[in-house]
Amino acid sequence: MSNPPGTSPIKVLLVDDEPAIRRALRDTLNELGFSTTETSRGEEALLIAQTKAFDVVLLDINMPGIGGMKTLLRLRALAPSVPILMLTVRDDEEDKIQALEGGADDYITKPFSLRECVARIRSAVRRARTPERAEDAPLSIGEIQVLPARRLVSKSGQPVHLTRKEYDILYYLMTHAGRAVTYGKLLTAVWGSEYHKELDYLRTFVRQLRKKIEDDPSNPKYLLTDAYVGYRFAENPFASDATLEPSSLRRTE
Amino acid sequence: MLCAFIHEATQFNPHGHPGAQLADLARRIFQVEAAAIFDADLHEVYRSGEWFDDVKEVLQNICLFGTATDDRETGLIRRVLQMGKLPIGAMLLRGETSVIVANSIASIIAITFDRYHAFANESRTENARQAEQLRTTVLDSLAHAYKTPLTVIEAASSGLAAMGGLTPTQAGLVSLVDEQAKQLSQLTSRLLTTARLEASDLIPKIEAVAIAPLIDDVMASLREQLSGFSVRVVLPNDDVALCCDRSLLVALLTQYLDNAGKYADFGTTIMIQVVEESNAIVFSVRSIGSTIPAGDYERIFDRYYRSSASASIAAGTGVGLSIAKRAAQAHGGNVWVASDAKEGTTFYASLPRLPKGVASP
């Protein structure tokens, strides 16, 4: 698969201590038109990142040496705008939260399908390349429109009345669409850092918000729960293929 | 003499049983013909010098009936070893010594025994803790060891599919590899969860848990498995909460929902219901699909048991529902199932509002 004419390949820095995982990712990503550089150590990743620019970093969280978390923090300082996607395993919710709050853009849970991995890489790169939007610029995702200048929300053209906090939550999530936002980050953004742990508070508001913007609040299409981590506003809620949500994956019978 | 006895008794290695050494010491220091000591806890007799065959029986009787007598004719001095009012053993000396000295010897032996048992308990607890830590470490590295090859297989097979250019047969085979790798990964996770729950003493970490968001999380984590169904959640109110172990409740509900996703007819509604009772909260997951024969209602929760009705429908190991049972039992709760063609299959779990071991405020 080649890149569209006039575009350069997406440059991926791949950091994982498992040679077989690196090989599988390297071979498939290269074949799909990405350009990859790989290393097994966080220390080396930092050295490479000092001399070479990347569009995205895939970083394993569990590695010997300085490990994934420290590498993340140092990479962030080194290259503040490069998207970093953490490779984690299930049951490591605490790690995922720490990574997201430490500046990671997203996480991919092992084992993952390549399609999901590629979709997340593309989405992170697209977000990073999108010029910063003006704070007051209108937002539109699926049927939901927001006019920040007037704090107005509508769904399919019909006005939706939100309370101040409901609006703040929606606005924050929509301006971070496609990204996992931890409970702590959202609480801090909307209520302030002293509310960092008031999970039940947040959940009550999210439940109300879902009732107002979702067709079926118990089966949300926009405001998704990222199990045990936080929320994620769907970037493309009605995409039929290659979306980021696991629900779009084929059901195996 | 008493001081020498105390001094030497306190020098014993606390990790070895002091019985034999105390018997020798008493005999040597107080110059009695023979000494015998009984540890009721271990049911052991430690002797020094010549003793008759049934000395153990005599010592047991002293301990049992509290006989503390000095017999001038036979020269036998009998004492109960006590900690507070609790008899913990008995002492028998043959020789001459005053009542007060005999009482003191008995007290010192009792204290030494008590000290030994305290040490032994402590190291038992420490050993159990270390064993538990080892188990967790082994399981974690096992999980890691399995996850790596599975990740590689899945990345490679899905990568091949993504590259395209495969013949339909090749594509079919690649998707088979992909599908089976996914299944193996799920089985691994489940077996590891069970192994963790099998840990000898499963002590729930009790905290106040808000139920509605927890169900949200469980549903979100099973989005893929539940994608072909509509899921309805019925709660008594949005704020329903329970004092329980969050991760165990997650394991339980994940199991019930995952099970429903496997056995329900495609496109039907799966209903999660939470009902508040006076002393308990009852969770249930109802699905419409294959039913469970009444004869399997109990056994289906046993480890490795798979209902004849289920074996032909979906892949499984027969460990899943045993996780749910163990999670409920750890709270002092219970699980059961009801199933018929008309009403569907409903799995229940009742968890007490005040789990065992938690005092009411």
- Tokens found for residue B340: 């018929």
DSSP E strands: which ranges in chain B? 34-39, 44-48, 70-71, 76-83, 86-94, 206-210, 230-234, 241-245, 269-276, 280-287, 334-340, 344-352
CB within 8 Å of A211: residues ≥ 6 apart: A217
Domain residues for the domain of A79 are 11-129
Are A94 and A156 contained in the same domain?
A: no
Find the largest Cα–Cα distance for chain A: 55
Angle between helices A67-78 and A93-101 (to 10 degrees): 20
Are A118 and A159 contained in the same domain?
A: no
pLDDT of residue B361: 40
| Domain end position, chosen among A129, A153, A187 | A129
* Pairing mode, strands B76-83 and B70-71: antiparallel
What residues in A contact B214, CB-CB < 8 Å?
Answer: none
DSSP E strands: which ranges in chain A? 11-15, 35-39, 56-60, 84-89, 106-110, 139-141, 144-147, 152-155, 158-160, 180-182, 223-226, 230-233
Listing DSSP states for B207-257 in one string gives EEEEHHHHHHHHHHHTTTTTTTSEEEEE-S-TT-EEEEEHHHHHHHHHHHH
3-class state of residue A224 by DSSP: strand
Nearest Cα neighbor of B269 from A225, A237, A224, A216 is A216
**Residue A77 burial (C-beta neighbours within 10 Å; 0-12, 13-18, 19+):** exposed
Are A72 and A122 contained in the same domain?
A: yes
Are A156 and A230 contained in the same domain?
A: yes
3-class state of residue A110 by DSSP: strand
Q: pLDDT tens digits, residue range A209-243?
A: 999 999 988 788 999 998 889 999 998 887 644 43
- Interchain CB contacts (distance < 8 Å): A and B: 114
Residue A165 located in a structural domain:
yes
Residues in chain B: 361
Find the CB nearest A252 among B148, B163, B182: B182
Instruction: Identify the residue whose tokens are 């590899």.
Output: B177
Residue A216 located in a structural domain:
yes
Q: Do A247 and B224 touch (CB under 8 A)?
A: yes
Are A190 and A226 contained in the same domain?
A: yes
Region of A160 please: left (phi>0), alpha (psi -120 to 50) or beta: beta
Are A28 and A122 contained in the same domain?
A: yes
- Name all contacts of A129-136 with Cβ < 8 Å and 24+ positions apart: A133/A175
Are A37 and A120 contained in the same domain?
A: yes
Q: Where in chain B is the domain with CATH 3.30.450.40?
A: 1-201
- DSSP label at residue B303: T
Fold entry, domain B204-361 = Heat Shock Protein 90 (3.30.565)
Residue type, B226: L
Nearest Cα neighbor of B177 from B201, B158, B149, B164 is B158
- The C-alpha of B148 sits at a distance from chain A's nearest C-alpha, in angstroms, of 7
Find the CB nearest A114 among B149, B155, B181: B155
Please say whether the beta carbons of A35 and A9 come within 8 A: yes
Please say whether the beta carbons of A196 and A184 come within 8 A: yes
What residues in B contact A226, CB-CB < 8 Å?
Answer: 220
Listing DSSP states for A138-158 in one string gives -EEETTEEEETTTTEEEETTE
What residues in B contact A241, CB-CB < 8 Å?
Answer: none
Residue A249 located in a structural domain:
no
Nearest Cα neighbor of A20 from B188, B190, B159 is B159
pLDDT of residue A244: 35
Find the CB nearest A251 among B178, B212, B228: B228
pLDDT of residue A251: 30
Are A114 and A183 contained in the same domain?
A: no
Find the CB nearest A218 among B162, B221, B231: B231
Q: pLDDT per position in chain A (253 positions), as tens? A: 555 555 689 999 999 999 999 999 999 999 999 999 999 999 999 999 999 999 999 999 988 899 999 999 999 999 999 999 999 876 678 889 999 999 999 999 888 888 889 999 999 999 888 887 788 899 999 999 999 999 999 999 999 999 999 999 999 999 999 999 999 999 999 999 888 777 878 888 998 999 999 998 878 899 999 888 999 999 888 764 443 333 333 333 3
Q: Where in chain B is the domain with CATH 3.30.565.10?
A: 204-361
Nearest Cα neighbor of B135 from B188, B186, B194 is B194
Give CA separation, A47 vs A50, A53, A68, A84, B69, in Å. Answer: 5, 11, 15, 16, 85
3-class state of residue B23 by DSSP: helix
Secondary-structure percent of chain B, ordered helix, strand, coil, rounded to 5? 50, 20, 30
Residue A4 located in a structural domain:
no
pLDDT of residue B190: 72
CATH no. for residue A113?
Answer: 3.40.50.2300
**Residue B122 burial (C-beta neighbours within 10 Å; 0-12, 13-18, 19+):** exposed
Residues in chain A: 253
- Measured between its terminal Cα atoms, the distance across chain B in Å is 53
Find the largest Cα–Cα distance for chain B: 106
What residues in A contact B148, CB-CB < 8 Å?
Answer: 18, 20-21, 110
What residues in A contact B231, CB-CB < 8 Å?
Answer: 218-219
pTM attached to this predicted model:
0.67
- Tokens found for residue B327: 């999670």
Residue of B nearest to A247 (CA): B224
Instruction: Identify the residue whose tokens are 């010594």.
Output: B97
| Domain end position, chosen among A70, A94, A129 | A129
Are A146 and A124 contained in the same domain?
A: no
CATH no. for residue A153?
Answer: 1.10.10.10
**Rg, chain B, Cα only:** 32
A interface test, pick of B144, B146, B150, B151 with most A CB neighbours within 10 Å: B151
Are A120 and A157 contained in the same domain?
A: no
Chain A contact for B53 (CB, 8 A cutoff): no
Fold entry, domain B1-201 = Beta-Lactamase (3.30.450)
- The C-alpha of A206 sits at a distance from chain B's nearest C-alpha, in angstroms, of 10
- Total domains in chain A come to 2
Are A167 and A87 contained in the same domain?
A: no
Mean pLDDT for each consecutive 10-residue tract of chain B (361 residues)? Answer: 82 81 91 92 89 88 84 87 87 89 90 85 77 73 80 90 88 89 80 67 80 89 86 90 90 91 91 94 94 85 64 56 87 92 92 67 40
Residue of A nearest to B221 (CA): A227
Burial A141-162 (b: 16+ CB within 10 A, else e): bbbbbbebeeeebebeeeebeb
